[in-house]
Amino acid sequence: MGSSVPRSFIDLPLEIQFLVFANFDCARDLRALALTCKKLHSAVNNDGWRRFVERSFPSLSIPIPNGNRHTWEQLAESLTWQSRCWDRRALQFQVLLHSPHGDEVRRHRGNARGRGLFHSVVDAHFDPATHEELVVWGAGEDIVGRYRERQGPDKPSKSSWHSVNGKELGFRAAYDDVNSVKIVNHHTGRAVVTGRHNGTLSLISAEPDRFGQPISEFKFSPPETSEANNGSEPENLSSLDVLQHGSSTRIAAATRNGLAVFDLPADATTELEPSATFDLKTEIFSLNTSRLSRAKWMEQGETVALALSGSPDPLRYLSLTPTGITHHTAAKNASIAAQFELKDNGNICPNSLEPVCRTGGCRTSLLLSAWRDGTIRLQDLRTPSPFDAVYQDNVDPWVDAEALMTYGTERFVAGGGDGLTVKIFDFRWERPYHHTSGLPCLNSLPFPGPSQAFLKNPTKSNLGNEKCKQGRACQYHELSKHIYYRPNAKFYLSRSLINSSASIWSLARGSDISPNFYIGISGGVIEANLEPCPNNYPPDRPTTDPNFGFPDWRGRAADGSGYMSRQVSPALMEIGDGYAYKHNDRPILLPRLQDCGGPPSWSGPILKLSNYHRLDMNYQTRGDFVWD
């Protein structure tokens, strides 16, 4: 009788043990449990780490381990490490500038749009099975690709550079510039869909031994030029988006007046016909000045979101059904519009459309978009969703964003509008994981105190205990999760560049588990890496992601690549809680601008407290550790 009653945690059924594993606040505690005995070690390794990862990062697309290159435990280690870096603003940057003649950045000559730097558009892909990363970008009429394969935490990567010289193929600067690149899987291997300003759409090989070789041409016959243009302008390609779902690949190509959908075949085809076309000029344009600026896949390919310029309803979507395509105006939430005094005057930033994945990387009808009034709006295209929210830089609220990149529902990156600045926003939704949960209790408020222009200090109403007790967190652990103590941040990157007037045009990352991302700028590409400042130089241990990082990412560009590399020294400013406020036009106390200072010479009590600091060690000063 008594033998049926479990005498300890080890004797509990696995299903109950797994529920406990999934609800640990930090990976440290789960690892400690796994070290107590062989039985629990086996249970944690078999399913415990998987449940912890899925519960802690539910909105990220996590690759299922299928080999020896990574395990669920390594995924937990890397994702918690990356989350800590994001929260502490531990980002490092390096720029790759096109420079065939020393430090002189390449410029277009005879450019119909005026002399200036090319606008770099970038895409990236990381394969967790092989640990190989491919990054491709358009550099004017040229296409550049870089391969990099991780060999281990202390070993140099295998890398190679490849390029397509547009001039040798007869392409002209400006008119034939690449304005879209997307990496896809093809039966011949990796490939790149390239769109050019002149309206041509091509599929080329992205394999190292045949990089740039043509595979297929897309037969894209857009609607005729509208009468308003009198045939004076070509029907240029305005955007390109790719949706890969299982083994199928769908491509949405947009011009000013039309949209074509292509299904990439599994066999070799030299000329691809569209599976569906849509003439927006006759269907939804209410004004002669209306133009389609961008099309973005939503809802696993069932819907396409549209950004229109010159239209009173600039956000639309198309429903793709077996019987045809229907168009709709995006639903508007009247209460949200009134709360933030939003005025839909058609001024949307066309390149900013970005779907938001709520569960495991699946595309839904939830869309993020930037507007010319400086707001970044989250809304459900189909319904006045309760998830609607409006975000804004509280310090400089009128600056817009040209490019957005989301990480599930955890955070998003915004770039453009005010030169070379990158902003990190928190979605402000409930997060299951906070890196501060892994720190010991501290009898202190989180420090240093942030500069918040509009958010109320929660200190007086949310005081906790000095030590965490069952059902109640200590003062530090409770308040460190509050958005008051987690302000958004902006990185200024222009100080290390030749042309300080360069702008950001695109953002891309290899995968949701990649510890780095890429920024397409005027005249080159910036690589951003999650990497904490070490206690000393040279560091006594690796500072990159322990499982997916490239330790030699700061290496110089390959000889003959036509590029030079240069470390970027960022400056950081915290920009408030990130919500938009309709009275955000009043003067506020400007937060301090903090330079990336390198490892400070901390010792004793300050060194022990440095892990509790809100920011990375690069941005810590001695005065931050003094509080009442």
Q: What is the 3-state secondary structure (H, E, C) of 381-428?
A: CCCCCCCCEEECCCCCCCCCCCEEEEECCCEEEEECCCCCEEEEEECC
**What pLDDT score does 507 carry?**
97
> Mean pLDDT across the chain, nearest whole number?
85
Question: How far apart are alpha carbons 373 and 74 in whole angstroms?
Answer: 43
**What pLDDT score does 500 carry?**
58
Q: What share of the chain is helix, strand, coil (3-state, %, to 5)?
A: 20, 30, 50
Would you say residue 312 has pLDDT above 90? no
**What pLDDT score does 19 carry?**
79
Would you say residue 146 has pLDDT above 90? yes
Q: Which among 370, 227, 221 has a CA at the least distance from the CA of 285?
A: 227
**What pLDDT score does 369 carry?**
95
Among 3-12, 158-167, 450-459, 552-561, name the one with the lowest average pLDDT.
Answer: 3-12
Q: Where are the beta strands (DSSP E) in 45-177?
A: 91-98, 121-127, 132-139, 142-149, 158-164
pLDDT in tens, 28-56: 888 988 888 888 888 888 888 999 999 99
Interior CA angle at 361 toward 356 and 364, to 5°?
A: 45
Question: How far apart are alpha carbons 488 and 579 in whole angstroms?
Answer: 10
Residue 466: pLDDT band with limits 50, 70, 90: confident
**What pLDDT score does 463 carry?**
64
pLDDT: is 128 or 333 the higher one? 128
Q: CB within 8 A of 332, min separation 6: which ones?
A: 344, 379, 384
- Which whole number is the average pLDDT over 257-273? 85
- Which whole number is the average pLDDT over 389-394? 93
- Which whole number is the average pLDDT over 76-103? 88
DSSP, residue by residue, 265-324: -SS--SEE--SEEEEHHHHT--STT-EEEEEEEEGGGTEEEEEEES-SS-EEEEEEETTE
- Which whole number is the average pLDDT over 294-319? 89
Q: Which amino acid is residue 151, in one-letter code?
A: Q
**What pLDDT score does 116 carry?**
53
Among 320-324, 396-400, 404-408, 484-488, name the one with the lowest average pLDDT.
Answer: 320-324
Longest Cα pair distance anywhere in the chain, in angstroms?
91
Would you say residue 304 has pLDDT above 80? yes
Q: Dihedrals φ, ψ of 380, to 5°?
A: -85, 125
Among 205-219, 322-336, 404-418, 610-624, name the one with the lowest average pLDDT.
Answer: 322-336
Tokens of 507: 């953002």
pLDDT: is 151 or 416 the higher one? 151
Kindly state the percentage of the chain with pLDDT values over 70. 89
**What pLDDT score does 325 carry?**
81
Q: Which among 90, 79, 92 has a CA at the least distance from the CA of 528?
A: 92
What is the CB neighbour count within 10 angstroms for residue 371?
23
For residue 295, the cross-strand partners are 306
Would you say residue 441 has pLDDT above 70? yes
- Residue 261 DSSP SS3: strand
Would you say residue 229 has pLDDT above 50? no
- Which whole number is the average pLDDT over 285-300? 82
Domains of the chain, CATH where assigned: 2-87 (1.20.1280)
**What pLDDT score does 609 carry?**
92
**544 DSSP 8-state letter:** S
Q: What pTM did the predictor assign?
A: 0.92
Residue 361: pLDDT band with limits 50, 70, 90: low
What is the CB neighbour count within 10 angstroms for residue 527?
22
Would you say residue 108 has pLDDT above 70? no
Tokens of 49: 């780490």
**What pLDDT score does 490 carry?**
95
Report CA-CA distances (Å) from 19 to 16, 50, 77, 565.
Answer: 5, 12, 20, 48
Question: How far apart are alpha carbons 222 and 236 in whole angstroms?
Answer: 9
pLDDT in tens, 548-585: 999 999 989 999 999 999 999 899 999 999 998 877 77
Would you say residue 266 has pLDDT above 70? yes
pLDDT: is 223 or 156 the higher one? 156
**What pLDDT score does 241 carry?**
95
**What pLDDT score does 107 carry?**
40
pLDDT in tens, 402-425: 999 999 999 999 998 778 999 999
Would you say 309 and 353 are in contact if contact means Cβ atoms under 8 Å apart?
Answer: no
**What pLDDT score does 294 carry?**
93
Would you say residue 105 has pLDDT above 50? no
